[in-house]
Chain A
């Protein structure tokens, strides 16, 4: 055992210079088991992807994505590159406010095509002037493009959260990939719907291990609470997703 530990420490020393500065800044999500899987928290300068488990779960995926954004960016300004036609509509200010996000802190960008969208994402990330960037993964974005975005995020130490279509099987350079399924909300003491809940699976994570949990987003205190731990159980494994 001692021997293995020494070997591990030696290996860590060896790769230490390879870990870039921006990868060292991590944001813990506040749930110990999840943070353990993430090796301490979400990497700040990096690309993170959130996908819905099915098409109908897209709003839930956006909700969880926004929860991650809030946990990493705090009250800093945000940039949201809007999709040309959101299947479930466009972000709604009063609803964002009710979810715990200040709509006034968000700059919304509209782009006419994928090329412009990628330009805008990269420009915002490299500037390093905002707390986080929200976008939609363009259909057919290849590994090169996603690596480029990841490097831009690293250069600007700005996290990029991309909503991934649920049937998108393209490989990517994302640091983490989450898959979100809708979950019935908590009900409060009076029987009204309370905090939103999500069944999330951490499908892919660089320097960490996957896991699956049910979490609750408290929009009043802006924190994520763990409801059940289903460690190392991923609902559906798709070999294509792990090719990268």
Chain B
């Protein structure tokens, strides 16, 4: 049940409740009056939506183009499938519908399925049709639609109510009326929905999976649980994928292996490659490393019954020919090494340093997942190692504005023999107005230890300045 302006309403009464005469949209008080022993619970729309999303991901095993319905109305949540070119994989449309119904029934769901030429017609038949499973071909589609109630047209409830008020209850009643007055009275939506259902206007939907340049899938006779078997399956999928990529002149940059569990969960393993590749052996090695690294979280449940390998990002890959007598090391060796490291250690742990155009020392370098190398300008007087956080030091200086003479850091005293500076670095005022200007010094003690220190603020400022060690030189 859910709460609307008029109070609590029933959303999805169970079959027993329906037999007792309860219906969706009924006021809770009316329902209670009829069935005093009614057990209800409020609908959690957000949870329903995520569940439906998960289910649609799992359903991508039947067709790559699946999307959950955008609106969840009165207990009706559903999925749209584009079965074009997929039905024959199950042995015809009838068999396809049957296997979808069976698979969903195994998950404990009661489903109604309709297959038609248009999304609108399928939707209408699915929600308002007499049969739980129906396939309608193009010739009889209009005939079948005529008998359905107007609510099946996916129009807003207010229009439905007005139409019913005018005595137009079936789609046939609307279809036979002149169009102009209808458009004037109900706006464009009614006619658009009608035309979409009849196939006069094209309708598209956005599938939950993005378009993939290449994908291959396998449905297994017996569920598999073993990691080795999963790898073998992935290997055969990768082998099948290669001719597809070759024909398209592409190499895979991002791959995802989707493993469909018997219980409706999908396990997805994604690989990011440093450079486009078409080598199944390489890809399999990466999957093996990834599985090894995730061994604790790898949960096959009661087994996987289907798998799909998607190339979610492809890049043109030209055949490379090495020059005769070339002795430079093979660049693919390096990219493959980086791929292996990334698979095992994770993308966030294989990094490269990139410069940033700022004077702020902490922000001048950023570590990012390895990609193209950063271009570094020349620097002078910057420490070899930078402390993650500048550490306070007790400093004795001869002049208030001068370099330090002696300092204590991490419990050790250093007597400074040589100091260079100051290099004044002003903070980025638009970031944190609070932090004062820093005066950086390079100092060297008698033993040759070199530090990068700074004084925070000025002596005449209200707060006495403090000293920090920020880095060390070799």
Kindly report which residue of chain A lies nearest to residue B330, judged by CB atoms. A129
Kindly report which residue of chain B lies nearest to residue A86, judged by CB atoms. B385
Given A103-B353, A104-B376, A193-B420, does the pair A56, B449 have CB atoms closer than 8 Å?
A: yes
Chain B neighbourhood of A187, CB < 8 A: 418
Q: Is B376 a contact of A92 with CB atoms below 8 Å?
A: no
Given A129-B329, A184-B417, does the pair A90, B474 have CB atoms closer than 8 Å?
A: no
Chain A neighbourhood of B104, CB < 8 A: none
Q: Is B382 a contact of A92 with CB atoms below 8 Å?
A: yes
Given A104-B373, A108-B353, A110-B351, does the pair A92, B385 have CB atoms closer than 8 Å?
A: yes
Decide yes or no whether A97 CB sits under 8 A from chain B: yes
Decide yes or no whether B338 CB sits under 8 A from chain A: yes
Q: Is A105 a contact of B448 with CB atoms below 8 Å?
A: no
A157 to chain B, nearest CB (A): 10
The B contact surface, by secondary structure, is mixed
Decide yes or no whether A168 CB sits under 8 A from chain B: no
Interface of chain A residues 85 through 117 with chain B (CB within 8 A): 86, 88-99, 102-111, 116
Decide yes or no whether B108 CB sits under 8 A from chain A: no
B121 to chain A, nearest CB (A): 55
Q: Is A107 a contact of B376 with CB atoms below 8 Å?
A: no
Q: Give the A interface residue count (CB, 8 A).
A: 54
Decide yes or no whether B75 CB sits under 8 A from chain A: no
B375 to chain A, nearest CB (A): 6
Decide yes or no whether A242 CB sits under 8 A from chain B: no
Given A56-B449, A184-B448, does the pair A97, B378 have CB atoms closer than 8 Å?
A: yes
Decide yes or no whether A66 CB sits under 8 A from chain B: yes
Chain A neighbourhood of B383, CB < 8 A: 89, 92, 95
Decide yes or no whether B387 CB sits under 8 A from chain A: yes
Decide yes or no whether B388 CB sits under 8 A from chain A: yes
Chain B neighbourhood of A110, CB < 8 A: 345, 348-349, 351
- What separation, in Å, do the CA atoms of A89 and B386 have in the docked complex? 5
Chain A neighbourhood of B449, CB < 8 A: 56-57, 59-60, 182
Decide yes or no whether B364 CB sits under 8 A from chain A: yes
Decide yes or no whether B201 CB sits under 8 A from chain A: no
Q: Is A107 a contact of B474 with CB atoms below 8 Å?
A: no
Q: Is A62 a contact of B471 with CB atoms below 8 Å?
A: no
Interface of chain A residues 204 through 244 with chain B (CB within 8 A): 217
Decide yes or no whether A123 CB sits under 8 A from chain B: yes
Decide yes or no whether B412 CB sits under 8 A from chain A: yes
Q: Is B442 a contact of A193 with CB atoms below 8 Å?
A: yes
A-B residue pairs in contact (CB < 8 Å), sample of 10: A89-B388, A93-B353, A95-B382, A95-B384, A120-B341, A123-B337, A123-B344, A127-B336, A128-B329, A183-B448
